[in-house]
Structure 1
Amino acid sequence: MEDSRPLILLSNDDGYAAENLRALHQALTPYGRVIVCAPEVNQSATSHSLSLHRPLRLRSVSEDVFAIDGTPADCVYVAMHSNSRVLPRKPDLVVSGMNHGLNLGVDVFYSGTVAAAREAAMRGVPAVAVSADAKADRAAAAALGARIAMETLAAFRRTPPARAPLFNVNVPPGNAWPVRATKLGARLYTESVIFREDPRGQEYLWIGGGGVRHDHVHGSDTEAFDEGAVGVTPLTQDLTSLDHRDLCMATCAAVSLRNREG
């Protein structure tokens, strides 16, 4: 008999064995059939990269749990395009996370957690990325992330938008939180490149500093986090900048004129 429950694909960027993924899996299970397809190992900050120039390996870990030696975007892509090898049909919902750490502001451009959700939204499936501060109560954060995800699916089914929604959820420290709709804030990292020498005298380097701060942006995910609230940010798949349209048109007009003049 066909399972009529919602089919939920769960992925992440910390790896299939991550404790936060297991917590979110447990929180989602009462709502439907949950199938995990996640990286073999940590793939944080891989953004939306796809492994197009090397073979991938898909491994069945246990019932409804699969691991791929690739990126988060690889995992969702493979799960959704492998006929019945991973999913019995197109999923009703894709949830990514729960990430070990936040994805605020510009983090969404680097985050593998967000990319896994984006890969699904691009293909018409509502998707939610969930991230939690290290000091957040794991079970409570996972339960809230699951509720947000299922409410997203319910709203999508009532009034389907032109494009599938992509929501980014960030949970601050604690075990109970207000929830608010937000926009991306200003999360600013210390920028540095550290050069060192290995034991054989060869130079190597590390990029990225450890410090981070939030500039105040009213209504933002960073403001919500600083005030102890869960921020839910709707992300767009259309990166066209209307703010720079006039500048773009002027540039194109100037180049076209020069081309005509030879």
Structure 2
Amino acid sequence: MMKILLTNDDGYDAVGLKALIKALEPIAKVMVVAPAKNKSACGHSLTLDRPLRLISIDDEYYKIDDATPTDCIYLSLGHLFKNGYRPDLVISGINIGANMGEDITYSGTASAAMEAVIHGVPAIAISQVCKDMCRSIVVDWDFELACKVVVDLVNKIENGYFPLAERKFLNVNIPPLKAKDCNGVKITKAGYRVYGNDAHRHTNPRGEEYYWIGLHPLSWRASIDSSCDFEAIKNGYVSISPIMLDMTSHSDIKDLENWLNN
């Protein structure tokens, strides 16, 4: 059986993480290392200004106080997997909320996958898109489609090989649909996210000003061939995007050299 390391930026007790554990335990050996509390939108950050405590919750189930998902992968690979041994795969999720377009750079979910591939471990980030920007209080999240997609991907990896080269990971987004209503899977590119500003100014009882960053609607710039992650989700498809860590704009190197030399 494959050895799979799981994390989730929604926290060690997140409903999406628990659904993922349940789906994978019949087909894999699972270890969980996740933040003790929600760390959404923390990006690819490591904690350098304070010590971190790895706390055992159950057999092969850990939380780390005030850690980021990147911390969780970093410490897991350095201290829970020893003598050169590595998990076969890291899966980050199931996140509540989309991680598409440039939101990938904010995402704690995607960042855990980034950290895994930096250390040479194949990785998948998986997110459940919400219908209403996740404003509703939902008691029973339906992760059936997300779990099916993850299990199918794990089976493909176990029976063959991870489809991407080093320092690349799969970013998966699940449409807010029942499994029976999904139109299939599309391989997509990361879309062009359109951002606004949703910072709310408030005053506390002592008259001190503070701000609270809100939620942005999923707005994007349409692609010419309708091949981006946003469009796949809109059309009822699962979106799977290959993401690379090399952020160099290779097509601009020659022009930049010419610009500097003239």
State if a TM-score over 0.5 links the two structures.
yes
Within the candidate set 203, 206, 215, 2:209 is matched to 203
Contact 1:24 1:146 in 2 (8 A): no
**Distance 1:156-1:250 versus aligned 2 partners, 3 A rule:** same
Tell me which residue corresponds to 2:192: 186
Q: Which shows bigger deviation, 236-245 or 166-175?
A: 236-245
SS at match of 1:43: coil
Distance in 1 (CA, whole Å) between partners of 2:158 and 2:171 is: 14
Distance in 2 (CA, whole Å) between partners of 1:232 and 1:24 is: 17
Alignment of 1:23 onto 2:29? no
Q: Which shows bigger deviation, 14-23 or 191-200?
A: 191-200
Tell me which residue corresponds to 1:172: 175
Letter of the 1:54 counterpart? R
Q: Unpaired runs of 5+ in structure 2? A: 132-140
Within the candidate set 104, 121, 128, 1:125 is matched to 121
Tell me which residue corresponds to 1:71: 68
Of all paired residues, the percent bearing the same amino acid is: 40
Letter of the 1:245 counterpart? I
Name which one, 1 or 2, has greater alpha-carbon Rg.
Answer: 1
Aligned residues: 247
Alignment of 1:42 onto 2:18? no
**Distance 1:84-1:213 versus aligned 2 partners, 3 A rule:** closer
TM-score normalised by the chain length of structure 1: 0.87
**Distance 1:162-1:186 versus aligned 2 partners, 3 A rule:** closer
Contact 1:106 1:187 in 2 (8 A): yes
SS at match of 2:25: helix
Alignment of 1:14 onto 2:10? yes
Within the candidate set 64, 79, 84, 1:82 is matched to 79
SS at match of 2:156: helix
Distance in 2 (CA, whole Å) between partners of 1:240 and 1:119 is: 18
Within the candidate set 236, 243, 251, 1:243 is matched to 251
Q: Which shows bigger deviation, 146-155 or 64-73?
A: 146-155
Tell me which residue corresponds to 2:138: none
Contact 2:168 2:245 in 1 (8 A): no
Contact 2:167 2:245 in 1 (8 A): no
Within the candidate set 84, 87, 93, 1:91 is matched to 87
TM-score normalised by the chain length of structure 2: 0.87
SS at match of 1:147: helix
**Distance 1:234-1:184 versus aligned 2 partners, 3 A rule:** same
Distance in 2 (CA, whole Å) between partners of 1:113 and 1:141 is: 15
The Cα of 1:123 is off from its aligned counterpart by 1.1
Distance in 1 (CA, whole Å) between partners of 2:159 and 2:118 is: 19
What do residues 139-174 of structure 1 show as CA deviations (whole Å, max 9, x unaligned)? 3322222322442454426xx764154000000011
RMSD: 2.2
